[in-house]
A and B are shown apart, each in its own frame.
Chain A
C-alpha cells in the first residue's frame, strides 16, 4: 500500500491507527450485543444517504410538500428510497435504545467512560429530535396532527411553555412556517449536532477501547492470561462487527421492500374529516401514561417524567457510585432499569391496543355474534371514553349489560327501546360517539340485530 506509506510520511497515521485498532479482545466475552452502537451508526448513515437523495425531490413548503411526496410515492425507486428512510428511522430509534440498555447492563458508563455516556445522551436526544421533526415533513393528516399534539405538550412547561410552543411552531398554530422550520432543524441542525457528537463518541470508544477489553489489560498487569483466550480487535472483531451490521442492513432492506412507507390524506388544518391523531409507535408508552394522569396532573406526565428521564440520563454516571460491574452486585440499578423497561413495553402494548382502529365492515348480518361483530366495533369506537371512565364500560359483555348511569342500556329482544341503539342513532341526544362521526348504518344495524336475537354473549 504505497498510498498508506505516502500518507504516513506526512501524517504519521500508522501509529495512530495502531493505537486505535491494534489491541486484544477477550474472546469469551464478545457478544453481538456489543455491536449495537455500530449498528446505530449504520442506521444514521442510511438516514443521511437516503435523506440526501430525498432532499433533491422534496419541496419543503405547505403548498408543495404533500404533492412532492405523492410524486415520490409514484416513482418506484424514489418510493423505495423513502421506505428505506422510513424504516431506517425506526431502526435508529430501536437500536439506540437497545445500545443504551446494553451499555447500562454491562456497566460500560462507569469510570473512565462517563463522557462517552454523556455524549451518547446527546445522540439519543438528537435521534428523537430527528424522528419528531421528520414526522411532519410528509404533511399528511397524521403528520400535521401528531405534530400539533406533540408540540402542544411543551406548553405544559411552567412559565416558558407558551414561548417554547410558539418558538417551535413559529406562531401559535402548526402552519407552513412550522414546516419550513422543522425542515431546517431536520436537515441541518440535528444532523450537524449528531455528526459532531458522534465524532467525539466514536473517538472516545476507540481511544478507551470497549469496556470488556479492560480484562485483558488487568490480566497482563498480573502476568496472567485471560480465560478463554483473546483475539485481535483488528481484523477479527472488526469483521464480526461488519457481519452483524450487514445483517441489520439486510433486515432494513427486506422490511423496506416488503412494507413500503405509506402516505395518508393531505394535511387539513381545519380537520373537516374529523381525523383523530395518534402518536407514532415509540411514543405509545407516553401516550398511554398520560391517560393515568387526568386533569391537573397532566403536568406530571408531560413535564415531570421527561425531566426525570433527562436528569437520570445525564446524571447516571455521577449518581451511580457503585463501581462494581457484576450483575449480582447491582441489584438496585438493574432492578429499577428492569421495571422501567417492562413498564415501557407494557404501556406501549396497552397504548397500541387502545388506539381506535378502523374495523373492517362485515356488512349487515342477520345473526351477528357478540365477540365477532359487536365487541370490536364498541372497542374501536367507544372504548377510548367508555373504557374505564364515562359511566358505562363497553370493553366486556358484563360491562355493556350491567354498567352505566342509566343501566341497562341493552334490553334483550328490544333494540329500539335500548338506550345503546338510541344513542348511536341520535334519537336520544347527544348522539354517540360524542363529537365524532356516527357509526355506519351497517354497524348500528348489526347491534340492533344482536339485541333482537336476545343480546347473547356469543
Chain B
C-alpha cells in the first residue's frame, strides 16, 4: 500500500457499520446509560434501609417484663418518631411484637383480662404470641429483632 493512502473500512466484516452509524449507535448507548444511571440512582436513593439493619435500642431490664403479660415500649432509632412495640414474656421466652394490627395497621391494645391483643378497628384478635385468632387480620403480628445482653433487653427493626 502506498504511503498516505486511506485504508478502506473493512466492510466485509461489518457490512452495515460505517462511521456514521457507529457514532449514532455510540451516542444512543451513551445516552441510554446516562438515563439508566439517573433512574437507578433515584431508586437506590429512595429505597428504604433494611429493617433488620436498624439500630438496636435498650428498652429495659429483664425484670421489667413480668411473665405472661405484654408491655408497651417505645423504639426511636430509625427516625426519632416513636414506634410502639409490645415486649411479651411468655413460655419462658421474650418476643418483640410490632403494635400494628396486620390487617390495616391500626394500633392494637393489650387486654390483660383476656391475655389477648385486640384491634379496635375491625375486631381482629391475637394471642399473647401475636398469632391471629379472629377477625380480618391475615397473619400474625410482625416481630422485631430482640436481643438480651446481660440484663438488658434490646430491640431493633421489624422482621418481615
A-to-B contact residues, CB < 8 Å: 62-63, 145, 148-149, 152-153, 162, 166-167, 169-177, 181, 269-271, 274, 276-277, 291, 294-296, 298, 384-385, 390, 429-431, 433-436
**Chain B residues within 8 Å of A181, by CB:** 46
Name A's interface SS: loop
CB atoms of A277 and B136 under 8 A apart: no
Total interface residues on B, CB under 8 Å, equals 39
Question: Least Cβ distance of A12 to chain B in Å?
Answer: 33
- Given contact pairs A149-B121, A270-B82, A277-B106, enumerate 5 new A-B contacts (beta carbons under 8 Å): A162-B160, A167-B48, A171-B51, A176-B81, A270-B74
Contacts A270-B107, A435-B118; is A167 near B138 (CB within 8 Å)?
no
Residue of B81, B84, B113, B138 near A295 (CB, 8 A) is B138
- Contact A436-B48, Cβ < 8 Å, known A152-B105, A176-B80, A274-B109: no
Please indicate the chain B residues that have their CB under 8 angstroms from the CB of A294 in the complex: 136
Least distance between A291 CB and chain B CB atoms (Å): 8
Given known contacts A172-B142, A430-B111, A435-B118, is B84 in contact with A62 (CB within 8 Å)?
Answer: no
Supply 14 A–B pairs (Cβ within 8 Å), ascending by A: A62-B81, A148-B100, A162-B160, A166-B51, A170-B46, A171-B48, A172-B142, A177-B48, A269-B81, A269-B82, A270-B84, A270-B107, A277-B106, A436-B109
Pairs of residues from A and B, 8 with the lowest C-beta to C-beta distance, nearest first: A435-B118, A175-B81, A271-B107, A175-B79, A152-B105, A172-B158, A435-B109, A149-B104
> Counting CB contacts under 8 A, is B108 at the interface?
yes
**Neighbour of A173 across the interface among B100, B104, B113, B121, CB < 8 A:** B100
- B157 contacts A by Cβ under 8 Å: yes
User: Which of chain A's residues have a CB closer than 8 A to the CB of B158?
Assistant: 172-173
Q: Which residues of B contact A173 (CB under 8 A)?
A: 81, 83, 98, 100, 158
Return B48 CB to nearest CB of chain A, in Å. 5
Interface string of B106-150 (1 = CB under 8 A from A): 111101011000111111000000000000101000100000000
What is the CB-to-nearest-CB distance from A195 to chain B, in angstroms, rounded to a whole number? 20
- Determine how close the nearest CB of chain A comes to the CB of B121; give it in whole angstroms: 6
List chain A residues, Cβ under 8 A from B80. 62-63, 175-176
Contact partners of B47 in chain A: CB under 8 A? 167
- Shortest C-beta distance, B92 to chain A (Å), equals 26
Q: Which of A174, A271, A277, A298 contacts B103 (CB 8 A)?
A: A298
- A171 contacts which chain B residues (CB < 8 A)? 48-49, 51, 78-79
- Judge whether A176 and B105 touch: CB under 8 Å: no
User: Chain B residue with minimal CB distance to A170?
Assistant: B48
Is the pair A177, B74 in contact by a Cβ cutoff of 8 Å? no
- B59 in the interface, Cβ–Cβ < 8 Å? no
For A435, give its contact among B100, B108, B157 (CB under 8 Å): B108
Measured in the bound complex, the distance between the Cα atoms of B79 and A177 in whole Å is 6
- Chain A residues, CB < 8 A from B160: 162, 172
B72 within 8 A of A: yes
A176 in contact with B79 (CB, 8 Å): yes
CA distance A294 to B109 in the complex (A): 21
The answer on a CB contact under 8 Å between B84 and A269 is yes
